[in-house]
Amino acid sequence: MARSNRTEYAILGLLAREPMSGYDIRNVAEEQLGHFWHESFGHIYPVLKRLHERGWVDKRIEEGRGGPPRHEYSITDEGASALRDWFGEPIEPMPPRNELLLRVFLGRFADRDDLVARIREYRGVRASALARFEAIQDQIDRESTDHPDHTFWMLTLSAGVHAARSAVAWCDEALAELEATS
C-alpha cells in the first residue's frame, strides 16, 4: 500500500537545483532525466500542491504576464532536509515488466517474423540512444567539466551507455539465433 511516492522526491530534487515552475519541471525532466525518468503534467501539478501544503516548498506567484500567472516553487529548509533523508533510505525495487522479453519467452506461439521485427525495432531504438548518449558525453566533457553536477551527469550517462550497449549486443545475438533456426 505505502508505495513511496517517487515523484515527490524527483520534483523536490529538481527544485533543490533551482526554483522553477511546474512547466519548467516537466521540461527539465524531459531534457535532462529523459533516459531514466519521466514525469507528466497531470501528475506534477497535484504533487507540487501537496508539497506546498506540507511545507517542503515555497510558492511565489508572478502575476500580470499574459496567460495564467506563473507559479515559481522553491525548496524550503524542511524540504531540503526531507530530500537528504530520502537518500538514506534503501531503494525498493520495482516489479519488472519487460514486454519484449515476455514476448520472446512466449516466442513459440509467435510468427518468427513478428518476433524478429520487434527485436529489430528495439535494437534501432537502443542503438540511436547509444549514439545520443555518447554525443552528450563528449559535449559535456568539452563544455562543463567544472559544473558541480558534472560527476553525476557523467555517471547517469555512463549508465545509459552501458545499458544501451548491452541491449544492442543482446539484440544482435538474438537476431542471429532466430534467423539461424528460422
Cell 544482435 found at: 172
Point out which residues pair with 62 in neighbouring strands. Answer: 70
Contact 56, 78 (CB under 8 A): yes
For the record, the C-alpha cell of 153 comes out as: 551527469
Residues that bind DNA (CB under 7 A): 1, 3-7, 21-24, 27, 38-43, 45-46, 48-49, 65-72, 95, 97
19 binds a second copy (CB under 8 A): no
Q: Work out which of 115, 123, 130, 133 binds a second copy, going by CB under 8 A.
A: 115
Is residue 121 at the binding interface for a second copy, with CB under 8 A as the rule? yes
Select from 46, 128, 145, 169 the one that contacts a second copy (CB under 8 A): 169
Q: Is 115 exposed, middle or buried (0-12, 13-18, 19+ CB in 10 A)?
A: buried
Question: Is residue 16 within the footprint of a second copy (CB under 8 A)?
Answer: yes
The option from a second copy, DNA, none interacting with 152 (CB < 5 to 8 A, set by class) reads a second copy
CA distances from 168 to 86, 97, 112, 163, 165 (A): 34, 19, 19, 9, 5
CB of 5 or CB of 166, closer to DNA: 5
Write out the E strands in 34-137: 57-62, 70-75
80 binds, among a second copy, DNA, none (CB under 5 to 8 A by kind): a second copy
Question: Which residue type does 164 have?
Answer: A
Taking the complex as a whole, the smallest distance from the CB of residue 54 to a second copy amounts, in Å, to 18
Q: Is 141 in the site for a second copy (CB under 8 A)?
A: no
CA distances for 77 relative to 55, 56, 82, 102, angstroms? 9, 7, 9, 45
- Contact call for residue 182 and a second copy (CB under 8 A): no
Which CA distances in Å does 141 have to 145, 150, 151, 157, 163?
6, 9, 10, 12, 20
Interacting residues with a second copy (CB under 8 A) = 6, 9-10, 13-14, 16-17, 32-33, 35-38, 80, 83-84, 86-88, 90-91, 93-111, 114-115, 118, 121-122, 125, 148-149, 151-156, 158-159, 162-163, 165-167, 169-170, 173-174, 177-178, 181
